[in-house]
Amino acid sequence: MKLIFEKSVPGRHSSLLPACDVPAYELPEMRQEPLDLPELCENDVSRHYTQLCQRVHGVNCGFYPLGSCTMKYNPRIDEEMAALPGFTNIHPLAPAASVEGCREVLELAAKYLCEISGMDGMTFQPAAGAHGEFTGVLLIKQYHASRGDTARTKIIVPDSAHGTNPATAAMCGYDVVNVASAPDGCVDLDALKAVLGPDIAGLMLTNPNTVGIFDKNILEITRLVHECGGLCYYDGANLNAVMGHVRPGDMGFDCIHMNLHKTFATPHGGGGPGAGAVGCKDFLKKFLPKSALMEGEGSIQVRGFAGNFLVVVRALAYLMTLGKEGVPEASTNAVLNANYLMEKIKGTFTPAFDRVCMHEFVLDLSEFKKETGVSALDVAKTLIDNGMHPPTMYFPLIVHEALMLEPTETESRETLDEAAEIFRKLYDLAHKDPEYMHNAPHHAQIGRPDEVGAARNPIVRWTRA
């Protein structure tokens, strides 16, 4: 398929603008050469993007159990609300008095999300999850700095934490201390105690963690970190498993981010926009970033204006649609669906941890690979031929040959039964015709991309021939 720039024809255009009815204004001459933009008519553009849509697999195409990504169906009413002209036809620099409705959206969303997370203050500035982590850890850093406590140079990140956590800690200038998991998938308390001390700024934890297990020792963990003077950061990546049932604030966390685009149903996975709402307890509120339309006492700003406002509108529409009863019901069903699918798959592929899971579970294909020579990658690629998006592969790293499935609450029993049947079929196929699976997919838009070549010699920018 050609890039939109390659489809460009000089002089072709779409005349959508009415005649100018205000005096012309010449921009100051800053740019010396003309803009190299594609020239197409509306029909060309429409077909181009429709073709792109046909080449990908989205939540609207079929089952998308990409573990850790919460690819739930996004209700159309959220889109309808986000498309209201009162929200779309505004300017970031509009006088505050003219956008009171938008302020109300932000404040109401903050109120509800504080209620769900057990926090006292909230900012919507961060653009997505990792940006939220960055902002949250900066709150921790500012807190220690404000007390003159400069000896705290390390952040603890358990090995079952989300992959971005160590990167966040490093970006904020901290050294990362890894803590191993115990065999049950929870944080090893003795290993944690061994690293706690006056040099620890805090702990970053995902709960339930990346193997889909709720850490039963969470109160003990946060107490131990607080005792040594550190703060606790909650990565809300897996909030979909527990929202409305248990609150990070009650688990002992001091600050948190929530991926509004994941948990609160905004289309995601295509590069954004997202929203990483960051919440904190009262004593950290004074460090929250300044944000347009919202109170924020702190001095930092992590993004322009109010963040990705329309994502907040969608999240608020979602919350108001579900209500107080619907929010916990959604996570209950997310957990139920994951356990249902795990039980249906058992007997063929083996779960990495044989216990009740939360909203996602991990299959360990290392024995299966020894038996058949078929890897987790081969299974993932063959799933594409069966109309299903592959699960997350080779993550978390603590499980070898991992496939991680998160069905979410928006899938029906029929879909889950069908998925389990596909897994059973592939299990049998691997024993009969492993070669076929080594070469899958056979019916997709493309075969296997050259991932090694793409990583070693990335071409990230198109240049005109």
Partner 1 sequence: MAIPNELRYTKDHEWLKEEDGVAVIGITDFAQNALGDVVFINLPEAGDEVVAGESFGDVESVKAVSDLLSPVSGIVKAVNEELIDAPEMLNSDPYGAWIIKVEQVTDREELLDADDYETLCAEEG
Q: Are 379 and 38 in contact (CB under 8 A)?
A: no
Q: What is the CA radius of gyration of the chain?
A: 24
**Paired tokens of 255:** 């600050």
Binding residue for partner 1 (CB under 8 A) from 92, 397, 412, 447? Answer: 397
**Paired tokens of 198:** 């006056």
Spell out, one character per residue from 411 to 450, where the chain touches partner 1: x when CB under 8 A holds, - when not.
----------------------------------------
Judged by CB under 8 A, which stretch of 26-34, 116-124, 133-141, 452-460 contacts partner 1? 452-460
* SS3 labels along 311-372: HHHHHHHHHHHHHHHHHHHHHHHHHHHHHHHHHHHCCCCCECCCCCCCCCEEEECHHHHHHH
Q: Are 90 and 282 in contact (CB under 8 A)?
A: no
Q: Does 180 bind partner 1 (CB under 8 A)?
A: no
Give least dist CB 140 to partner 1, A: 24
Q: Are 233 and 140 in contact (CB under 8 A)?
A: yes
**Cα–Cα dist 209/276, whole Å:** 18
For 239, what's the count of Cα atoms within 13 Å in the CB-facing half-sphere?
28
Cis peptide before 92 (omega within 30 of 0): no
Q: Which is nearer to partner 1, 400 or 443 (CB)?
A: 400
Which H or E run contains 251?
helix 248-251
Q: Does 350 bind partner 1 (CB under 8 A)?
A: no
**Cα–Cα dist 248/426, whole Å:** 39
Query: Residue 291 pairs with which residues in a beta bridge?
Result: 294
Judged by CB under 8 A, which stretch of 21-29, 309-317, 388-396, 407-415 contacts partner 1? 388-396
Give least dist CB 452 to partner 1, A: 4
Q: Which backbone phi and psi does 233 adopt, to 5 degrees?
A: -110, 130
Give least dist CB 397 to partner 1, A: 6
Q: Does 452 bind partner 1 (CB under 8 A)?
A: yes
**Paired tokens of 122:** 């909230």
Q: Does 459 bind partner 1 (CB under 8 A)?
A: no
**Paired tokens of 213:** 């297990």
Q: Which is nearer to partner 1, 71 or 380 (CB)?
A: 380
Q: Does 455 bind partner 1 (CB under 8 A)?
A: yes
Give least dist CB 406 to partner 1, A: 19
Give least dist CB 21 to partner 1, A: 56
Q: Does 451 bind partner 1 (CB under 8 A)?
A: yes
Give least dist CB 169 to partner 1, A: 15
**Paired tokens of 246:** 């248990």
Judged by CB under 8 A, which stretch of 10-18, 116-124, 348-356, 392-400 contacts partner 1? 392-400
Q: Which is nearer to partner 1, 456 or 461 (CB)?
A: 456
Judged by CB under 8 A, which stretch of 20-28, 116-124, 347-355, 389-397 contacts partner 1? 389-397
Binding residue for partner 1 (CB under 8 A) from 305, 340, 353, 394? Answer: 394
Q: Which is nearer to partner 1, 370 or 461 (CB)?
A: 370
Q: Are 164 and 129 in contact (CB under 8 A)?
A: yes
Q: Are 357 and 338 in contact (CB under 8 A)?
A: yes
Q: Does 370 bind partner 1 (CB under 8 A)?
A: yes
Give least dist CB 366 to partner 1, A: 9
Give least dist CB 391 to partner 1, A: 15
Query: What is the DSSP-derived secondary structure letter of residue 449?
Result: -
Give least dist CB 165 to partner 1, A: 14
For 315, what's the count of Cα atoms within 13 Å in the CB-facing half-sphere?
29
**Cα–Cα dist 284/198, whole Å:** 20
Residues contacting partner 1: total by CB under 8 A: 9
Name the site residues for partner 1 (rule: CB under 8 A). 370, 393-395, 397, 451-452, 455-456
